[in-house]
Amino acid sequence: MSVKFAEVFVPVRVATVRQIVFEDGERSCVVVDTEGMPLFYPNLFLTTQMRNDDLSSSTLSNNAGHLCAFLQAMEESQIDLIARLSEGKVLEPYEVEALRGDLQRRLTSKPEGRGLRSYFSQAEYISKEIMHARITVSAKYLDWLATLYLRNPRDSDELARVLAAMREIRPVNKKRNTIKRKRGLSAETASAIKEVLRPGSEYNIWSDPAIQVRNRLILSLLYEAGIRRGELLNLMVEDFNFGANSLEIVRRADEKADPRVDQPLVKTNDRVIPIKASLMAEVRLYVFDHRRHVPGAKKHGFLFVTHKLGPTVGQPMTIVNYKHIVNTLRAAVPPLKDFSGHDLRHYWNERFSDLMDKTELTPTEQEQIRSQLMGWRFGSGTAATYNQRFVERKAAEFGMKLQAGIIGSKGVQG
């Protein structure tokens, strides 16, 4: 008696994103297969439907990653989209539902699960925001591909129904439950960070004195100036005016002199920020006593450089390097396990609100000053996002005064 064994389908990782830099400094990316060869249709889609929309390189790269997740889901469901569309078919309802299960999981570099048959993590889920973006890009790609191959559909309404069904499986974050949402820092946590990063402190988790000074300066600039990660890593020594004690935030998208493929970007407006003398002294200490001794650091003007000996020593600090510093802090100091550098930007805004609360400036004047220092367009509404903790605290104070009956004929008494 002959026994036939069914062939077991073993998926492969079909696509990854590769960052590229053109001769003029422009950053972009391509979607490649396991052999490093560009995939025709995904890249044609990114070029014609997204890159020409004047998106930033980071946004384009994120969208390419979302597209890779969709291509992987099609691979693991054994769906050949071009063949399917050429037959006049799109996706079945159960296939759209299966897509929801895949696209809510993190995409991995090695297969996981029973029989190692999936490149989607079996334990780690992505955020609602990322999943929403993934499905949005997936629907756009399917819609675009259908314009090329869906010539004789079996049902004229099928494509519209499938696209609508895909959009319906996107998660909806109504943002109503804000009580447990983490924003900013407490004063105690900020003090703990300062002590852990103080050069020479017995609690400092780095042994190299130069790295202690560099990492302290990184957090000091985030704390005192409220700047973003991209703005921090984009800083050049020339941006500091040591005579005027000021710092200029400059947009340098597609900078040819920047060797980093994943270039940190300034998302806000150009602006000048005042810097107190003690912080400027930290900058001067790092530049003249430590940075200048790092091999290769003099080849460019970016402030923060890699100190570790190796092929990247002296090169501008990358986003990965920065994340490593933050992750090291999280791992070494339990109270900082949820710490993010962006928390310091929220904390800056909370302290700014405390300061404004003691002035007689009008709300409009306060927003103008805040927007100027943060690099926001006045009237954009961004200030409200960063001012939430302060509003909650003031609401609690006045709520308690109301309950205590501290109300006079002229209003609440302080």
How far apart (Å, rounded) are the C-alpha atoms in residues 64 and 262?
14
Where does 226-336 have alpha helices with state H? 229-233, 277-285, 319-332
The tokens for 380 are: 């954009």
* Contacts with 310 (C-beta within 8 Å, 6 or more apart), sequence order: none
> Could you tell me the residue ranges of all domains in the chain?
16-168, 187-341, 345-412
Residues of the chain falling short of pLDDT 50: 1, 176-181, 409-412, 414
Query: Which residues lie below 8 Å from residue 375, measured CB to CB, with a gap of 6+?
Result: 231, 249, 266, 268, 269, 270, 271
The residue assigned the tokens 């909370």 is 350
Superfamily of structural domain 187-341: Intergrase catalytic core (1.10.443.10)
pLDDT for 168: 94
Q: Which of 228, 231, 129 has the alpha carbon at shortest distance from 171?
A: 129
Q: What sign does the dihedral 230-233-238-239 (CA atoms) show?
A: positive
Distance between CA atoms of residues 16 and 171, nearest Å: 25
Between the CA of residue 25 and those of 57, 72, 258, 259, 356, what are the distances in Å?
11, 31, 8, 9, 42
pLDDT value at residue 180: 46
State how far the Cα of 164 lies from the Cα of 158, in Å rounded to an integer: 10
> What is the tens place of the pLDDT at every residue in 83-142?
999 999 999 999 999 999 999 999 998 887 666 689 999 889 999 999 999 999 999 999
Q: What is the pLDDT of residue 332?
A: 84
Sign for the CA dihedral angle at 240, 241, 246, 249 comes to: negative
- Rounded to the nearest 10°, the torsion over CA 388, 125, 66, 375 is 20
**Encoded tokens for 60:** 């384009």
346: Cβ contacts below 8 Å, ≥ 6 apart: 183, 184, 185, 386, 389
Q: Partners of 29 in the beta sheet? A: 19
How many Å apart are CA 179 and CA 172, to the nearest integer? 18
DSSP structure class, residue 226: -
Contact status, residue 383 vs residue 371, Cβ threshold 8 Å: yes
Measured CA to CA, the distance from residue 363 to residue 358 in angstroms comes to 12
Give tens-digit pLDDT for 125-135: 999 999 999 99
| pTM of the predicted protein model | 0.71
